[in-house]
Structure 1
Amino acid sequence: MASWKSRGLRGSMLEEMINITNTKYREKGLALIQKVPTPITPIKIDKETRHINLAYFDQKSTVDYIGVVQGIPVCFDAKECAGDTFSLRNVHKHQIQFMKEFEAQEGVAFLLIYFKKHNLYYYLTYELLSKFWKRALEGGRKSFRFDELDLSFQIHIKNGVCIHYLEQLQKDLLLREANIQDNIKA
């Protein structure tokens, strides 16, 4: 089991920004996205402050966020990357499996990645994540490089929204629709 102390605050600023974004989306009636709580078992609690000082994860979590955007089910995980290479060890097999099953139910799964070195937020489609994952399973790179990404999926900060990922979600949906139309024509 992993200790809460060792990993608990990683990515907290990114998640806080996403939480602010999701609140704005909810206020504007655009989306209803919630943070999925990670089930923990408290081990050590400060009796005065009632704060948990040590805890263990009860089970493997699925993704960080889940909800609906204009009738479209979405789920995503938030990740950070310090350099130009994103290790796939940051994504767990059970998360890939959950996202795959979510997509099979006509939902949209993706990663939101903050590349610290570039001060850039990125929407990684499940399709591309799946390609990188498959490549690793077949003995290829166990990571992907920043230069392998389509920067048109960069997330911009605008309209008072911290991480305005709905534009990239719309782009993802349009590309999916175009692929369906191409397959019908073929």
Structure 2
Amino acid sequence: MATWNSRGLRGSTLEDFINLANEKYQQSNLALIQKIPTPIKPIKIDKDTRHITLAYFDMKSTVDYIGVVQGIPVCFDAKETAVDIFPLQNIHEHQVNFMSDFEKQQGISFIILYFSSRDEFYYVPFCDIINFWNRGKNGGRKSFTYDEIDKSYRIHASKGVPVHYLDALQKDIMSRD
């Protein structure tokens, strides 16, 4: 079992940017998106500060974020890679299953992927995620590369929002019609 303090602050900057975007979207009445906390089971608590110093993940989480954008249900995960390859092992099967079930209920699922070495953010639609996932399950490459990402889904900063993903979401919605 992994402890919550064993992974350091990996991905926290990406989530901070997304949280800021979500706050701006809510203030502008564009969306209501919430960060879903990963349930933990405390093991050690500092008696003086009453802070949790050691804990284990209690159960599998679904995705990082869930909410609604102008009446459209959305769920997504925030992922980061320091290289031009993203291993599919960083997306868990229960997450793919949740996103698939979410899509079956007329929701929109996606990943926001940050290539930190390039300082580039991308919206990866569920249709691409499931294609990469199935390729790996069927004996093919168990990762996808920067070159395989649809560059038209690049996310840019806009209007004070560092990761303004609503334009990419709109493009995804339009491609489904």
**TM-score category of the 2 structures, normalised to the smaller one:** over 0.9
Tell me the alpha carbon deviations over residues 25-64 of structure 1, each in whole angstroms, 9 at most, x when there is no partner. 0000000000001110111111222221110011000000
- Which whole-Å CA distance do the structure 1 matches of 2:46 and 2:57 have between them? 19
Match of 1:77 in 2: 77
Match of 1:119 in 2: 119
* Residue 164 (structure 1) shift: 0.2
- Which whole-Å CA distance do the structure 2 matches of 1:21 and 1:57 have between them? 27
- The residue identity in structure 1 corresponding to 2:37 is P
Task: Report the 3-state secondary structure (helix = DSSP H, G, I; strand = E; otherwise coil) of the residue aligned with 1:6.
Answer: coil
- Which whole-Å CA distance do the structure 2 matches of 1:171 and 1:66 have between them? 19
| Cα RMSD (Å) | 0.8
Tell me the alpha carbon deviations over residues 115-164 of structure 1, each in whole angstroms, 9 at most, x when there is no partner. 01110001000000000000000100000010011111000001111210
Tell me the alpha carbon deviations over residues 86-131 of structure 1, each in whole angstroms, 9 at most, x when there is no partner. 0001000000000000000000000001101110001000000000
- Which whole-Å CA distance do the structure 2 matches of 1:2 and 1:113 have between them? 23
- Which whole-Å CA distance do the structure 1 matches of 2:67 and 2:150 have between them? 25
Match of 1:14 in 2: 14
**TM-score, normalised by the number of residues in structure 2:** 0.98
Q: Which blocks of at least 5 consecutive residues in structure 1 are unaligned?
A: 178-186
Match of 1:31 in 2: 31
* Residue 9 (structure 1) shift: 2.5
Match of 1:94 in 2: 94
- Which whole-Å CA distance do the structure 1 matches of 2:159 and 2:50 have between them? 39
Match of 1:49 in 2: 49
Match of 1:158 in 2: 158
Identical amino acids, percent of aligned pairs: 60
**TM-score, normalised by the number of residues in structure 1:** 0.93
* Residue 8 (structure 1) shift: 5.3
* Residue 7 (structure 1) shift: 2.3
1:128-167 matches, within 5 Å, as 128-167=128-167
- Which whole-Å CA distance do the structure 1 matches of 2:160 and 2:12 have between them? 20
- The residue identity in structure 2 corresponding to 1:160 is G
- Of 47-56 and 152-161, deviating more is 47-56
- Which whole-Å CA distance do the structure 2 matches of 1:56 and 1:71 have between them? 36
- Which whole-Å CA distance do the structure 2 matches of 1:53 and 1:71 have between them? 40
Task: Report the 3-state secondary structure (helix = DSSP H, G, I; strand = E; otherwise coil) of the residue aligned with 2:163.
Answer: coil
